[in-house]
């Protein structure tokens, strides 16, 4: 029999920076298409691993001199390299003890969101770009039985992290932990091993300062509208995000963009196109698709991280102050 203590020690040894455990019942209020238990109904625990994003990777964006590091090492390598490697090492412990695991990195081009109105929010919320998914998308898949959601189901890492007691969702919609603030990504393991769950995090990291809203280059975070979701027997909420604006800003455009690759009017038009539908600009295409996310989470990550550090509420302390962006 595996214990929670053994499992957590093994997760850290496998490479995770954070680990939390959720009981399946905490997801029960979610629609089936958002509930991880739809994929593995026999699962008895949901384990969430957090992999930190190194703080120094934000410096190139803050100084306006080097954009590839954060998106390649902090984003792509975290999701597509380090998470799968960590999960591989972690899950062997379970199989050796006779338990199944379904390791799920934050790396899939999922899902079926057909038939969902992108403007619909609340318990049927979505958090993807409506220009790519949602009511305008093609038919994608069908349920194999009447009582099952169509594949692939879509569950959110931040909700799993919440259920595993790792932290809270800030007003920005970004998950915040007491260790790193917004500076990590999550992977999930579903298993039939029954483990003691962690308590839900009591909250208090987000103080509703509004810096994520003010400093978002895309003006994508609403200052007044909220999304509310029932989960783990509670109601949680965050501010509504305009995903089309967020997507443009992440890739270098936006109303308050500070993008040094935006030199000509043609660049400006290119970077402000919806990235998933019109990557035609000669510079826009290669820069965006090579992963140089110029917006690079300025408000929701960098402004929030600096604010939480200034307040002294994060456990990971540094000798050098992070401070504000140069532009």
CB of 138 or CB of 317, closer to ligand SF4:
317
Q: Which residue is nearest to ligand SF4 (CB)?
A: 170
Count of residues binding ligand SF4 (CB under 6 A)? 13
In angstroms, the Cα distances linking 319 to 63, 65, 312, 322 are 18, 22, 13, 9
**In this chain, which stretch among 71-79, 154-162, 167-175, 284-292 interacts with ligand SF4, using CB under 6 A?**
167-175
| x/- letters, 113..152, toward ligand SF4 (CB under 6 A) | ----------------------------------------
Q: Which is nearer to ligand SF4, 90 or 175 (CB)?
A: 175
Residue from the set 43, 187, 304, 325 that interacts with ligand SF4 by CB under 6 A: 304
Kindly list the distances between the CA atom of residue 1 and the CA atoms of 67, 88, 99, in Å, as whole numbers in the listed order. Answer: 46, 20, 9
Residue 38 sits in the site that holds ligand SF4 (CB under 6 A): no
Quote the CA–CA distance of 67 and 60 in Å, as a whole number.
Answer: 6
Residue 298 interacts with ligand SF4 (CB under 6 A): yes or no: no
Question: Should residue 280 be labelled a site residue for ligand SF4 when binding is judged by CB under 6 A?
Answer: no
Q: How far apart are CA 281 and CA 228, in angstroms?
A: 38
170 binds ligand SF4 (CB under 6 A): yes
Task: Let me know: does 298 contact 217? Beta carbons within 8 Å.
Answer: yes
Query: How far apart are alpha carbons 237 and 228 in whole angstroms?
Result: 4
Stretch that binds ligand SF4, among 19-27, 78-86, 164-172, 289-297 (CB under 6 A): 164-172
The residue from 47, 303, 314, 325 that contacts ligand SF4 (CB under 6 A) is 303
171 lines the binding site for ligand SF4 (CB under 6 A): yes
- Report the residue number, 158 or 211, with the smaller CB distance to ligand SF4: 211
The CB density around residue 281, as the number of other CB atoms within 10 Å, is 19
Taking the complex as a whole, the smallest distance from the CB of residue 32 to ligand SF4 amounts, in Å, to: 30
The residue among 160 and 304 lying less far from ligand SF4, judged by its C-beta, is 304
Query: Considering the rule CB under 6 A, would residue 306 count as an interface residue with ligand SF4?
Result: no
Radius of gyration of the chain (CA): 20
Among positions 307, 309, 314, 325, the unique one binding ligand SF4 when judged by CB under 6 A:
307
Output the CA angle 311-183-283, nearest 5 degrees: 120
Residue 26 near ligand SF4 by CB under 6 A? no
> Quick one: which segment of 64-72, 87-95, 170-178, 316-324 binds ligand SF4 (CB under 6 A)?
170-178
Asked if 183 interacts with ligand SF4 (CB under 6 A), we say no
212 part of the interface to ligand SF4, by CB under 6 A: yes
| Interface region with ligand SF4, contact rule CB under 6 A, candidates 32-40, 74-82, 273-281, 299-307 | 299-307
Q: Does 211 bind ligand SF4 (CB under 6 A)?
A: yes
d(CA 125, CA 256): 27
Residue 172 found at the interface with ligand SF4 (CB under 6 A): yes
Under rule CB under 6 A, which residues in 191-210 are in contact with ligand SF4? Answer: 206-210
List Cβ neighbours of 267 (8 Å cut-off, separation of 6 or more). 261, 281, 283, 284
Alpha-carbon distance of 15 to 11, in angstroms, equals: 7
Phi-psi region of 97 (alpha: psi -120 to 50; beta: other; left: phi over 0): alpha
Contact residues toward ligand SF4 (CB under 6 A) are 170-172, 206-212, 303-304, 307
């Amino acid at each position: 029999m595996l214990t929670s203590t053994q499992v957590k020690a093994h997760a850290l040894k496998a490479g995770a920076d954070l680990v939390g455990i959720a009981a399946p019942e905490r997801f029960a209020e979610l629609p089936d298409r958002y509930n991880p238990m739809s994929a593995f109904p026999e699962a008895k625990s949901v384990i969430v691993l957090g992999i930190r994003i190194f703080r120094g990777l934000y410096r190139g964006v803050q100084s306006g001199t080097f954009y590839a590091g954060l998106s390649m090492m902090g984003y792509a390598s975290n999701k597509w390299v380090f998470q799968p490697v960590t999960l591989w090492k972690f899950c062997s412990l379970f199989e050796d003890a006779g338990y199944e695991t379904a390791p799920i990195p934050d790396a899939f081009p999922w899902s079926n969101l057909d038939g969902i109105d992108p403007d619909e929010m609340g318990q049927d919320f979505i958090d993807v770009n409506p220009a790519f998914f949602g009511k305008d998308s093609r038919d994608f898949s069908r349920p194999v039985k009447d009582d099952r959601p169509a594949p692939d189901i879509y569950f959110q890492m931040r909700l799993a992290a919440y259920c595993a007691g790792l932290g809270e969702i800030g007003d920005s919609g970004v998950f915040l932990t007491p260790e790193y603030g917004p500076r990590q990504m999550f992977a999930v393991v579903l298993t039939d091993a029954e483990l003691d769950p962690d308590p839900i995090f009591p909250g208090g990291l987000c103080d509703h300062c509004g810096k994520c809203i003010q400093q978002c280059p895309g003006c994508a975070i609403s200052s007044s509208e909220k999304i509310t979701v029932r989960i783990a027997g509670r109601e949680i909420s965050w501010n509504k995000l305009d995903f089309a604006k967020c997507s443009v800003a992440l890739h270098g455009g936006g109303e308050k963009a500070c993008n040094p690759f935006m030199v000509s009017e043609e660049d400006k038009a290119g970077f402000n196109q919806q990235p998933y539908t019109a990557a035609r600009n000669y510079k826009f295409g290669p820069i965006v698709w090579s992963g140089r996310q110029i917006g690079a989470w300025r408000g929701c990550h960098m402004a929030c991280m600096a604010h939480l550090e200034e307040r002294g509420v994060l456990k990971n302390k540094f000798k050098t102050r992070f401070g504000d962006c140069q532009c």
